[in-house]
């Protein structure tokens, strides 16, 4: 997301009242529709987009950073909301005349299209609207192109019908996922953040690793990984944990560019970390029609390897530069942090259990959100109750509630929340907790804007691709260029993801590339979920690669260093992680795709060794500085472990053993001489 303006950057308390109440109404609408399902899926999607447009036009100016001119902002915002009301009021008529637009239908469709393109430009900059505009132009003018790219031709009314009505355009799968799973999980994270989960994670990481070698950087890695369990947003992670970790790293001797690179790399990995992951994971589950648990399961080992590689790079760099940790007495107690805020882990634990027990993300997110509200409100009440028996009774009741949560009925759950709200209203300090919950609702709506607008606009790509069938043409080109060479096709797909990532966020990057490249990889024998995870993975890494490197530029003002310099360090730090998706393609057992635990353990060990060899080759240090030939052999060993050809694994293990043995004896000899 572009930070060209700050329309929604202020805290909720600083917002104009009208904007605050619109955001609050947006979150309320989403919760009610998720809990009670009063509308059809089509109306839900249209209502979601209508609220997004209203929020964007009230918040983001057309040019510059000042607030928008209110009269025009209300006209445009209400026009966007009116398109949703039109879908609701004329729902039955639109279904009956599907594909046969009236003049009013056509006008509403054109207005919606223009408003969505302009809203996306205001929120994310010009890159994504240009890309989607090219697809729109292809739908209108593609019949005049030469060769295989030409289609049979479609009129403007057919394109508008495809995009603005039905579920294959603006109201497609990404918008549905944004209006259900993603919004609930964003709210879930907003409630936990407001309640102090960030402090819990940072204090816990500080207590465990702050006093170790390179402690501040390790705190950044661990806290970012933990934050990924509730936020699933890389840039949001940078600007939250980075405010604390980057200055801390600089204070203890890390170069500003390295500190920013560590935080950026670790934060982007948060989108890979189950259970919440990023918005893309939910879109992927819907797109390939698999349970979300399968996506989370496939991401688990690569995510652990990714963060393990960053942790290793940080450790080696700290040893090379002799960077110490904080004095232990300056570090908070990890277990004291847990003791003070342990109750915040209850909703997260229940959410993880539900997701991994096969419940739908919608059900799990609703339970997690409701339980979070009960825990926050209940803890505010209990902290002001002196009787131990009442405290114990509350936590026992909460345990019973967790055990059979929605079997009690949604009405009972909302009744419990309403009762706790009433109690908080009358007790000392309780109203502050209610304000915190209101701010969490508004913050959730704020965080949902860039995700929702991206999901809506990429409906242009989905609609045009499904209408014209151009995806099969592009897949054919990839197959032809690759000439049945899987490795070359993987390189082409990786480059496509990284290039697209220069101008657009992870969500549209994934949708575009998965529509074009994933079918080609599937044709070459790559399992469906692995091919989509490959695209997802490099869509995330695109935010680290120069020249754009969104995450690195978000870290730049905190690190007080140029974003491009941070980006080069981020790529170097993540270098070992670049091998993970390639290994997964050649050995799907890395993503737990297979029945043999032996194969899974073997490929994890192989991937771990490859990452280790690439890490020491990149940093140039293990026990002592590596000789130039040791770095070359280590890099070659890591590379051969990736390529699944006959005897390449054996060569990789042999080169790894050679370089490690030689380095061990050389370092032992050099230390003996020094002694």
**408: Cβ–Cβ under 8 A, 6 or more apart, which residues?**
401
The whole-angstrom separation of Cα 640 and Cα 334 is 41
Instruction: Report d(CA 302, CA 594) in Å as an integer.
Output: 15
Q: Who has greater pLDDT, 478 or 592?
A: 592
pLDDT band at 4 (very low <50, low <70, confident <90, very high): very low
**How many whole angstroms separate alpha carbon 84 and alpha carbon 55?**
14
Calculate the CA dihedral of residues 392, 397, 398, 401 and round it to 10 degrees. 170
Q: Does 408 score more than 70 pLDDT?
A: no
What is the Cα–Cα distance from 631 to 612, expressed in whole angstroms?
12
Phi, psi at 335, each rounded to 5°: -80, -30
Dump the DSSP string for 526-580: --HHHHHHHHHHHHHHTTTSTTT-HHHHHHHHHHTS-HHHHHHHHHHHTTGGGHH
Does the pLDDT of residue 244 top 60, yes or no? yes
- Answer for the pair 630, 662: CB distance below 8 angstroms, yes or no: yes
Supply the pLDDT for residue 136.
Answer: 92
Residue 596 DSSP SS3: coil
- What is the structure's pLDDT at 3? 38
CA distance 214 to 223: 14
Whether 146 shows a pLDDT value over 50: the answer reads yes
Over the stretch 361-382, which tens digit does the pLDDT of each residue have? 788 888 888 888 888 888 777 7
DSSP letter at 323?
-
pLDDT (0 to 100) of residue 80: 94
Instruction: Write out the H or E segment, with its range, that includes residue 397.
Output: helix 388-403
Question: What is the distance between the alpha carbons of residues 281 and 215, in angstroms, rounded to a whole number?
Answer: 31
Contact 167, 42 (CB under 8 A): yes
What global pTM score does this model have?
0.79
DSSP state, residue 626: P
Dihedral in degrees, nearest 10, Cα atoms 546, 454, 441, 18: 110
**Residue 49 contacts residue 456 (beta carbons within 8 Å):** yes
- Under DSSP, the state recorded for 621 is B
Give the Cα separation of 157 and 102 in Å (integer): 10
Whose structure tokens read 């599937």? 522
**DSSP reduced 3-state for 155:** coil
State mean pLDDT over 205-226: 81
The candidate with the shortest Cα–Cα distance to 440, out of 188, 113, 184, is 188
Q: Are 642 and 579 in contact (CB under 8 A)?
A: yes
Instruction: Sort 175 into a burial class: Cβ within 10 Å, 0-12 / 13-18 / 19+.
Output: buried
- Dihedral-angle region of residue 114 (phi above 0 means left; psi in -120 to 50 means alpha; beta otherwise): alpha
What is the C-alpha to C-alpha distance for residues 33 and 45, in angstroms, rounded to an integer? 11
pLDDT digits over 487-508, tens only? 888 888 888 777 776 656 777 7
φ and ψ at residue 621, rounded to 5 degrees:
-150, 140
Give the model confidence (pLDDT) of 529-568 as tens digits: 998 888 888 888 887 887 667 788 778 888 888 888 888 8
Q: What is the pLDDT of residue 81?
A: 95
Q: What's the mean per-residue pLDDT of the chain?
A: 82
Instruction: Say which residues have a Cβ less than 8 Å from residue 53's Cβ, sequence separation at least 6.
Output: 76, 77, 79, 80, 81, 83, 115, 116, 119
Q: Of all helices (H) and strands (E), which one includes residue 221? A: helix 215-227
- Model confidence over 506-530: pLDDT tens digits? 777 787 777 777 777 887 788 889 9
**Distance (Å, rounded) from C-alpha 571 to C-alpha 650?**
28
278 Cβ contact partners less than 8 Å away, ≥ 6 residues apart: 232, 233, 234, 270, 271, 272, 506, 540
- Give the mean model confidence (pLDDT) for residues 327-344: 82
Query: Helices (H) and strands (E) in the chain — how many of each?
Result: 33, 0
Please report which confidence band the pLDDT of residue 110 belongs to, taking 50, 70 and 90 as the band edges: very high
**Pair 80, 57: CB distance under 8 Å:** yes
């Amino acid at each position: 997301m572009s930070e060209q303006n700050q329309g929604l950057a202020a805290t909720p308390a600083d917002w104009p009242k009208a904007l605050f109440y619109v955001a609050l109404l947006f979150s309320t609408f989403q919760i009610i529709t998720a809990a009670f399902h009063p509308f059809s899926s089509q109306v839900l999607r249209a209502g979601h987009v209508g609220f997004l447009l209203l929020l964007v036009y009230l918040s983001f100016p057309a040019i510059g950073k000042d607030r928008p001119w209110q009269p025009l902002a209300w006209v445009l915002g209400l026009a966007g909301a009116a398109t949703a009301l039109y879908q609701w009021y004329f729902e039955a008529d639109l279904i009956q005349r599907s594909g046969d637009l009236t003049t009013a239908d056509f006008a509403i469709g054109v207005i919606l299209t223009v408003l969505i393109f302009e809203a996306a430009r205001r929120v994310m900059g010009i890159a994504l609207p240009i890309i989607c505009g090219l697809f729109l132009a292809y739908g209108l003018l593609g019949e005049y192109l030469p060769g295989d790219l030409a289609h049979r031709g479609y009129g403007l009314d057919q394109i508008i019908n495809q995009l603005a009505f039905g579920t294959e355009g603006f109201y497609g799968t990404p918008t549905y996922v944004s209006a259900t799973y993603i919004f609930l999980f964003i709210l879930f994270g907003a409630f936990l953040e407001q309640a102090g989960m960030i402090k819990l994670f940072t204090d816990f990481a500080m207590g465990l690793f702050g006093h170790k070698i390179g402690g501040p950087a390790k705190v950044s890695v661990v806290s970012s990984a933990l934050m990924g369990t509730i936020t699933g947003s890389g840039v949001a992670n940078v600007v939250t944990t980075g405010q604390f970790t980057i200055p801390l790293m600089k204070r203890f001797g890390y170069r500003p560019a390295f500190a920013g690179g560590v935080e950026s790399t670790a934060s982007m990995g948060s989108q890979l970390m189950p259970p919440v992951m990023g918005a893309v994971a939910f879109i992927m589950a819907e797109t390939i029609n698999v349970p979300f648990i399968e996506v989370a399961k496939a991401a688990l080992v690569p995510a652990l390897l990714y963060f393990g590689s960053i942790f290793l790079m940080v450790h080696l760099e700290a040893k090379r530069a002799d960077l110490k940790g904080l004095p232990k007495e300056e570090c908070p107690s990890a277990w004291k942090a847990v003791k003070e805020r342990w109750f915040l882990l209850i909703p997260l634990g229940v959410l993880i259990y539900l997701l991994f027990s096969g419940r739908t993300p919608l059900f799990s997110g609703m339970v997690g959100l409701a339980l979070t509200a009960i825990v926050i409100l209940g803890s505010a009440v209990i902290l002001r109750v002196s009787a131990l028996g009442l405290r114990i009774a509350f936590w026992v009741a909460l345990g019973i509630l967790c055990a059979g949560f929605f079997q009690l009925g949604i009405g009972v759950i909302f009744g419990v929340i309403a009762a706790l709200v009433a109690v908080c209203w009358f007790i000392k300090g309780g109203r502050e907790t209610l304000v915190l919950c209101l701010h969490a609702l508004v913050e959730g709506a704020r965080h949902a804007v860039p995700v929702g607008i991206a999901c809506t606009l990429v409906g242009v790509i989905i609609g045009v691709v499904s209408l014209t069938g151009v995806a099969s043409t592009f897949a054919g080109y990839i197959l032809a260029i690759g000439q049945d060479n899987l490795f070359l096709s993987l390189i082409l797909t990786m480059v496509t993801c990284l290039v697209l990532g220069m101008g657009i966020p992870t969500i549209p990057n994934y949708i575009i590339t998965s529509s074009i490249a994933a079918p080609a990889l599937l044709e070459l024998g790559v399992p469906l979920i692995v091919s989509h995870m490959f695209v997802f993975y490099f869509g995330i890494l695109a935010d680290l690669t120069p020249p754009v490197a969104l995450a690195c530029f978000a870290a730049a003002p905190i690190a007080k260093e140029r974003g491009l310099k941070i980006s080069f360090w981020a790529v170097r730090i993540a270098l070992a992680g670049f091998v993970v998706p390639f290994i997964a393609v050649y050995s799907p057992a890395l993503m737990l795709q297979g029945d043999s635990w032996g194969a899974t353990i073997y490929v994890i060990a192989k991937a771990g060794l490859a990452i280790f060899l690439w890490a020491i080759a990149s940093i140039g240090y293990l026990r002592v500085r590596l000789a130039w030939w040791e770095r070359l052999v280590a890099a070659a060993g890591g590379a051969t472990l990736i390529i699944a050809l006959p005897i390449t694994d054996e060569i990789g293990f042999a080169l790894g053993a050679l370089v490690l043995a030689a380095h061990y004896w050389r370092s032992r000899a050099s230390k003996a001489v020094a002694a």
